[in-house]
Amino acid sequence: MTSSPRANSTAQWRHLDAAHHLHPFSDTKALNAEGVRVITRAEGAYIFDSEGHKILDGMSGLWCSAVGHGRGAIVDAIADQLRQLDYYNTFFKTTHPGAAELSAAIAAVAPAGMEHVFFTSGGSEAVDTVIRMVRHYWASVGKPDKTVFVARHNAYHGSTMGGASLGGMAPMHAQGGLPIPGIVRAAQPYWWAEGGDLSPEDFGLKAARDVARAIDAAGADNVAAFIGEPIQGAGGVIIPPATYWPEVQKICRERDVLLVSDEVICGFGRTGEWFGCQYMGFTPDLITFAKGVTAGYFPLGGVIVGDRVAQGLIEHGGDFNHGFTYSGHPGGCAAALATLKIMQDEDLVARVKCDIGPYLQQRWRALADHPLVGEARMVGLIGALELTPHKATRAKFSGEEGTVGQLARDISFREGLVMRAVRDSLILAPPFTLSEPEADELIATARRVLDATLAEVRLRGLWGADLV
């Protein structure tokens, strides 16, 4: 009998990984040449690698670990659940206590008028569920022509065929035969990069009106829904001007187009409200969620369905021929219920809104005085630093876009802080449990990272010849 290979050193793990593991969103050849970092442990706001480095997890894993790492109560809840009922499906006239209780718990924190939940294993499946559910809804209420989705450039809605198609990431569309048909594209509300001479408020309205243009070009009678992240996460923490979302809502309502808020990142407290749509001041018809709902302790996602769509489906839809083996997995439901309990017991959404959020925001925004930083923005605990060689013109660095961002990101990891690079920006989304001393450490490290990046940028001549 052969046992599965085990290893106990960085070199051995790297060897096995390089030989057998294909990583998501990675160039395997380049990764293997560089040598992958092995993360072995996590506690609170920190991760630890196999060489003993302690690194502040400024990205909450991958936007997940809202309540911090190593929470015994969540681990115990999952273990207890799996001992009691490891798995059963929710397809064929059965449910289990966790799925019933979690759907009610989510409805209780969801915006008013959103009482139903459909479970998936993650965010991409939630987005694909929206495509099928919304089209089925319109067909069920006698409007089968309403099938088109409007989505934005530089949106991220996941990696499945449907999710990646709704997403507006050109490198993803370049592989694997995407996008699927039936999707039209609208502008993103990215003032820093695209606002030109307009004020953020005017630019927000302009970007919103591009949603109207896209809907009208397709014909409102053919358009099922508009989907957007309240704040674009993977696209670079793009915080829309305050004028944007209310105008998008008005445009969708006037045209009877459903509004879908993709809250896989913004949902469950990241903005200091339970949902990003509440922070941005709009009321969606459907909300997709994942990540923070279980704080990453177990894969679980889903769709919160507003009453209009839910009633249409329930009254007129008949069988909904859609679902995943792990829809409402008992372990995921237990993880989510335990996570929600911690969020409520420790009042973590209010902590993000009134306490650690403002504390970090103030210090983060002060980084804008650094010569490399053009804009330092943050809402709740989700933020970005736009790096630029020339603040007034928001100029780009010479050389390939993204070079400086990657440089800064690598320096940051080395200095003991996880930030993610998107183009030439750095993004941040730390756990809600971050303490004030940890926030101070985060900012001090970020400043060291900026200094070291600036030195390297000058050394490599990336600053741009004509800029001082």
State the residues that interact with ligand PXG by CB under 6 A.
62, 122-124, 127, 156-158, 163, 229, 233-234, 262, 264-265, 290, 301, 420
Instruction: Closer to ligand PXG by CB, 129 or 140: give it.
Output: 129
Q: For residues 142 and 176, which CB has a smaller minimum distance to ligand PXG in the complex?
A: 176
Shortest Å, Cβ 295 to ligand PXG: 13
For residues 412-431, one letter each, b for 16 or more C-beta atoms within 10 angstroms of the residue's C-beta and e for the rest, the string is bbebbbbbbbbbbbbbbbbb
| 62/139 with CB nearer ligand PXG | 62
Based on the number of CB atoms within 10 Å of its own CB, is 222 exposed (0-12), middle (13-18) or buried (19 or more)?
Answer: middle
In whole angstroms, how close is the CB of 105 to ligand PXG at the nearest point?
20
Cα–Cα distance measured from residue 232 to residue 63, given in angstroms and rounded to the nearest whole number? 12
Q: How far is 288 from 124, CA to CA, in rounded Å?
A: 9
Three-state DSSP at 225 gives strand
**Residue nearer to ligand PXG on the CB measure, 55 or 227:** 227
Distance (Å, rounded) from C-alpha 84 to C-alpha 251?
A: 49
CA–CA separation, 296 and 276 (whole Å): 19
Contact assessment for residue 36 and residue 77, using Cβ atoms and an 8 Å cutoff: no
> Shortest approach of ligand PXG to residue 468 CB, angstroms?
33
**Closer by beta carbon to ligand PXG, 206 or else 329:** 329
3-state SS class at 54:
strand
Helix, strand, coil % in the chain, rounded to nearest 5: 45, 15, 40
Which ranges constitute the DSSP H helices of 302-347? 307-312, 330-345
**Smaller CB separation from ligand PXG, 427 or 457:** 427
Type of residue numbered 162: G
Q: With both helix axes pointing from N to C terminus, report the angle between 436-459 and 356-365 in degrees, rounded to the nearest 10.
A: 20
Output the CA torsion 233→237→241→247 (10° steps).
-10
CB 156, min distance to ligand PXG, A: 5
Q: CB of 467: closest distance to ligand PXG in angstroms?
A: 30
Supply the minimum distance, in Å, between the C-beta of residue 354 and ligand PXG: 25
Helix (H) or strand (E) holding 306: strand 301-306
Question: Do 189 and 241 form a contact (C-beta atoms < 8 A)?
Answer: yes
Contact 413, 405 (CB under 8 A): no
- Rounded least distance, CB 169 to ligand PXG, Å: 10
Cβ neighbours of residue 365 closer than 8 Å, sequence gap 6 or more? 376, 377, 378
Cβ atoms 74, 64 nearer than 8 A: no
Task: Decide whether 45 or 427 has the Cβ nearer to ligand PXG.
Answer: 427
Rank residues 158 and 430 by Cβ distance to ligand PXG and give the closer one: 158
In the complex, least distance from residue 64 CB atom to ligand PXG, rounded to whole angstroms: 9
Q: How far is the CB of 192 from ligand PXG (least distance, A)?
A: 18
When the beta carbons of 65 and 140 are compared against ligand PXG, the nearer one is: 65
> What residue number has its CB nearest to ligand PXG?
123
Nearer to ligand PXG, 98 or 228 (CB): 228
- The least distance separating ligand PXG from the CB of residue 107, rounded to whole angstroms, comes to 21
